[in-house]
Amino acid sequence: MYSALWMFAWDLQDEGVEKVLGFAADCGLSAVQIASSYHAGNFILGHNPKRVAYFPEDGVAYFHPHLEVYADTKLKPKIAEVSRGTDWFAEAGRRLDRFGLKLVAWTVCCHNTRLGLLHPDCVTRNAFGDPYYHALCPSNDDVRAYVVALVKDLATHYPMYAVQLESPEFMGLVHGHHHERQGVALDPLSVSLLSLCFCEPCMRKAGERGIDARKLRATLREHLRAVLDRAPFYPLDRPSDMPGMVAACPELGRFVEFREQVALSLLK
């Protein structure tokens, strides 16, 4: 167990490593959780002496990746500009004992729009085959190899107490992308169904478990088309929640279980 403050490389750069670590120690915390791999954002930095608003780069690494760890991975990390000249994990790491703190790497795994745009074959595909570039698919072996390498790199090259994983799993349709527009009032079931991935690895691996993913995909397409055609009204002859949908389509329940196993197996 540990108590910690989430923080970013720009906090360490702009406020000073010692000041930030000293603040965490003075607060009685036992660790610092520094973002090691992070997505884009729009931040207000209330106590930063150099800037107030900040837009971090998308899908970049805030440590110095050891490239040999990624020699066989298709997906490669990219160093953030703020970390290019200084490895803030190393800087914090060598001062931990002095401040009585542990180091934790706050690591975003499958949410990476930069990598998704570079490798569209690695992203989530909805039932219509549309890519969700923000969501690398955890069924994809190239994505899995990248996530494992990222964690291994952090765990073996820094005095790491823990690697905290964010999004080591499937992501959905909605996640806070800028200017998300739906144009129709999507009901929760439709959002859930549009969040399911039918990329090639998902289809193949589900098939290996005896799930007819093609049939399921066709069923969901037909259902979603019928719902979208009637929006903003909901067709009364259609299931309107997940239990009802699973009752009408048992293959869906098995597919959801399959997805849970995919995500869990990545953690093992």
Q: Give the residues lining the site for Zn ion (CB under 5 A).
A: 39, 137, 139, 197, 199, 202
Residue linked to tokens 């934790």:
104
For residue 39, the minimal CB distance to Zn ion (Å) is 4
Q: How far is the CB of 37 from Zn ion (least distance, A)?
A: 13
Residue 21 beta carbon to Zn ion: minimum distance, rounded to whole angstroms: 28
By C-beta, is 21 or 252 nearer to Zn ion?
Answer: 252
How many CB atoms within 10 Å of residue 174? 13
Round to whole Å and give the CA distance between 191 and 104.
Answer: 34
Angle at 241 between CA 240 and CA 245, to 5 degrees: 90
Nearer to Zn ion, 101 or 199 (CB): 199
* Residue 215 burial by Cβ neighbours in a 10 Å radius (0-12, 13-18, 19+): exposed
Residue whose CB is less far from Zn ion, 31 or 59 = 59
Whether 108 and 39 have beta carbons less than 8 Å apart is answered as: yes
Q: Which of 186, 197, 175 is nearest to 240 (CA)?
A: 186
Distance in angstroms (rounded) separating the CA atoms of residues 123 and 173 = 12
DSSP per residue, 125-174: E-TT--EEEEEE-TTSHHHHHHHHHHHHHHHHHS--SEEEEE--S---S-
If phi over 0 gives left and psi between -120 and 50 gives alpha, with beta otherwise, what is residue 64?
Answer: beta
Rounded to the nearest whole angstrom, what is the least distance from the CB of residue 252 to Zn ion in the complex? 15
CB of 218 to Zn ion, least distance (A): 17
Nearer to Zn ion, 35 or 137 (CB): 137
Q: Pick between residue 197 and residue 266 the one whose CB is nearest to Zn ion.
A: 197
The sign of the dihedral angle between the CA atoms of 46, 52, 55, 57 is negative
Instruction: Name the residue nearer to Zn ion (CB basis): 106 or 158.
Output: 106
To Zn ion, the closest distance from the beta carbon of 160 in angstroms equals 25
